[in-house]
Structure 1
Amino acid sequence: MKGRVVKSTGSWYTVKTDQGLINSRLRGKFKQDDLKLTNPIAVGDYVELEMEAGQASSVINEILPRENYIIRKSTRKTHFSHIIASNIDQAFLMVTISQPRTSLGFIDRFLVSTESFRIPATIVVNKTDLVKKEKELDFLELLHEIYDPIGYPVLEISALNDKDLDLLFNESLRGKTTLISGHSGVGKSTLLNKLVPHATQSTKEISKFSAKGVHTTTFAEMFELEGGGYLIDTPGIKEFGILDIDDFELSHYFVEIRQYLGQCRYNNCQHINEPGCIVLQKLEEGYIHPNRYESYLNILYEEDDRR
């Protein structure tokens, strides 16, 4: 049989097939393009499986080639990576201005990952009802200033209060597989319960002591939408460490820099301090936002330090 993984709990997987949902386990180890993975199978994977003799469960024999995936460095095992989800059509990165606060660096690292497979991404700002202080309003305005012009829509909602959820309840979800990702506590589970009432994901309030989110989703799961399409809910991400990226490849994943590639004086320009760099010129002229350029440098130097 063939099916699609809709839930992963570690050693067991729920696979949707023509015969219904089947609990499955992995047979042996899979080599995956030289990637060292903490999770050999990800939600969204298409697999081949066979029923176990005399059992209601099955064994996964093969993982079919992935069209794309979003991956990050493992926070637990050095030199290992973790696939968040695979075979997705678009990604919603949920962020909050406070309780907890999402940094620009976290956003940009996520967008580098989506850009590596040209996966369309939308920034969903949740808990806008809590945005009242001047510095919070300024940060919200900054998000629009940075990301709207370069093709990442910034949507403002309040999932808890049903505010502006019509921005998400639209045709953009129909027939597509959409990933919802972000820090713990940004309201992913609350939003999912609104979009998919039968999901019944558990939710918790933010810790008043630390102002940080609490993990409510402990494993990745895919939910089917009534009008067609899927939403993938994932455990909250504390840090988003990107995989090894060549110094000259990183600029390809910043859309505002990518449009100027090939126009610098030197072919091996890293856009730091080289003479005749068109990227530095456009930065000076205001066509590249300084916060985005700072993220580019931070990731570049981070990879150099690691090597």
Structure 2
Amino acid sequence: MKAVVYKSTGSWYSVKTEDGTPYNARIKGAFKIEGLKSTNPVAVGDLVDIEDGDLENNVMITNIYDRHNYITRTSPHNKNQHHIIASNLDQCVLVATLREPKTSMGFVDRFLITAEAYHIPAIIVFNKADVYRKKEMEHFEHLKNMYESVGYTVILTSTVSGHGVDEVKELLKEKVTLISGHSGVGKSSFINIIFPEKNLKTKEVSGWSGKGMHTTTFAEMFDLPFGGKIIDTPGIRELGLVDIPKQELSHYYPEMRDTLQDCQFNNCLHVEEPGCAIKAAVESGKIYADRYVSYLNILGTIEEDYK
């Protein structure tokens, strides 16, 4: 039988067959591939074959079908390995906030770079609009203009007032969507609006650090009552870029891709090289200076062995 993986807890998996029957599943021993760079051979969203296991309602995963795509982050335990967050996605949503806690632009751009690298369309949702003052609203308008000019969808929401929630729900219909973001940005609150019966745990932002506390331990998929699926992910403090060399970073900035071929040197990093078309585009206002500064900051964090 074919089934889709809905949850992974390390050694056990929750799967559902095409007719919606749920099972607990384990991997057949031979599956644990030697030398696998990923920390998890089976990911949420995987399409798998299952067969009866040793106990009632338990099954064995015997085959994983090729993934259309997947999104990863560096393993928190081993920077040389990556952890597949989810697979077979139609799109991903980053939930960000401008207050309580504030999501850094560097984090937003890292997420977008990762989505670009894996060819997954990205949507940015700025939540907690109900606590924004004039300063935050002006900043939001700047970010909205900047990211929309690059081609991303940007939505302002409040799970308290309900502002923007229907707009996001419309984008989720009949799609498989990864929902991610720092802890404390309101992912669980948003999912609770869609699924009142799920009642996911939510925690307040811890006052001493200004950062949210983790409420989700493992990625988990939910069927939307209006069609489609969402995958909720653990609050990610840092999204490490996986296997992106310095030379390739600018390829994952859509506004830079169209201009790269105009640089004087093929291996231009757009820092101090003469005849750089990217720097010229920044100076002329064609590329937002904020995005260029973000690019330089991220470039500086890529290790030399990926140069």
Tell me how far 1:35 sits from its aligned partner.
5.1
Whether the aligned pair in 2 keeps the contact of 1:160 and 1:191 (CA below 8 Å) is no
Moved more, 262-271 or 231-240: 262-271
Q: Which secondary structure does the structure 1 equivalent of 2:301 belong to?
A: helix
Moved more, 152-161 or 196-205: 196-205
1:257 counterpart residue number: 256
Tell me how far 1:256 sits from its aligned partner.
0.5
Q: Which amino acid aligns with 2:75?
A: S
Q: C-alpha offsets along residues 153-184 of structure 1, whole Å, 9 cap, x if unaligned?
A: 221110133222121132x2221101110000
TM-score of the two chains, using structure 1 as the length reference: 0.93
Distance 2:77 2:184 in 1: 21
Q: 1:158-173 to 2 correspondence within 5 Å?
A: 158-170=158-170, 172-173=171-172
Distance 1:209 1:133 in 2: 25
- Alignment of 1:282 with 2:281, yes or no, is yes
Q: Which amino acid aligns with 1:269?
A: C
CA 1:54–1:100: 2 relative to 1, 3 Å: closer
1:132 counterpart residue number: 133
Whether the aligned pair in 2 keeps the contact of 1:244 and 1:303 (CA below 8 Å) is no
CA 1:144–1:35: 2 relative to 1, 3 Å: farther
Instruction: Provide structure 2 residue ranges, at least 5 long, that are not aligned to the other structure.
Output: none
1:145 counterpart residue number: 145
Percent identical among aligned pairs is: 48
Whether the aligned pair in 1 keeps the contact of 2:4 and 2:16 (CA below 8 Å) is yes
Q: Which amino acid aligns with 1:197?
A: P
Whether the aligned pair in 2 keeps the contact of 1:199 and 1:223 (CA below 8 Å) is no
Whether the aligned pair in 2 keeps the contact of 1:7 and 1:222 (CA below 8 Å) is yes
Distance 1:18 1:53 in 2: 22
Whether the aligned pair in 1 keeps the contact of 2:72 and 2:86 (CA below 8 Å) is yes
2:189 counterpart residue number: 190
1:5 counterpart residue number: 5
Q: Which amino acid aligns with 2:76?
A: T
1:122 counterpart residue number: 123
2:178 counterpart residue number: 179
Instruction: Provide structure 1 residue ranges, at least 5 long, that are not aligned to the other structure.
Output: none
CA 1:204–1:306: 2 relative to 1, 3 Å: farther
Whether the aligned pair in 1 keeps the contact of 2:130 and 2:160 (CA below 8 Å) is no
Distance 2:283 2:209 in 1: 39
Q: Which amino acid aligns with 1:89?
A: D
CA 1:89–1:18: 2 relative to 1, 3 Å: closer
Distance 1:303 1:66 in 2: 27
Moved more, 194-203 or 38-47: 194-203
2:207 counterpart residue number: 208
Whether the aligned pair in 1 keeps the contact of 2:26 and 2:60 (CA below 8 Å) is yes
2:156 counterpart residue number: 156
Moved over 6 A (4+): none
Tell me how far 1:196 sits from its aligned partner.
2.6
Distance 1:51 1:58 in 2: 5
Q: C-alpha offsets along residues 2-45 of structure 1, whole Å, 9 cap, x if unaligned?
A: 1110111221111111361110012234449x752222221111
Q: Which amino acid aligns with 1:221?
A: E
1:96 counterpart residue number: 97
Whether the aligned pair in 2 keeps the contact of 1:196 and 1:223 (CA below 8 Å) is no
Tell me how far 1:260 sits from its aligned partner.
1.2
Q: Which secondary structure does the structure 2 equivalent of 1:197 belong to?
A: coil
Distance 1:270 1:206 in 2: 39
Q: C-alpha offsets along residues 197-223 of structure 1, whole Å, 9 cap, x if unaligned?
A: 333211111112222101111211111
Whether the aligned pair in 2 keeps the contact of 1:111 and 1:121 (CA below 8 Å) is yes
Q: Which amino acid aligns with 2:17?
A: T
Q: Which amino acid aligns with 1:37?
A: S
1:79 counterpart residue number: 80
CA 1:80–1:148: 2 relative to 1, 3 Å: same
1:111 counterpart residue number: 112
Whether the aligned pair in 2 keeps the contact of 1:92 and 1:122 (CA below 8 Å) is yes
CA 1:54–1:118: 2 relative to 1, 3 Å: closer
Distance 2:296 2:32 in 1: 35
| C-alpha RMSD over aligned residues | 1.8
Moved more, 138-147 or 88-97: 138-147
Moved more, 41-50 or 100-109: 41-50
Distance 2:85 2:41 in 1: 11
Tell me how far 1:120 sits from its aligned partner.
1.1
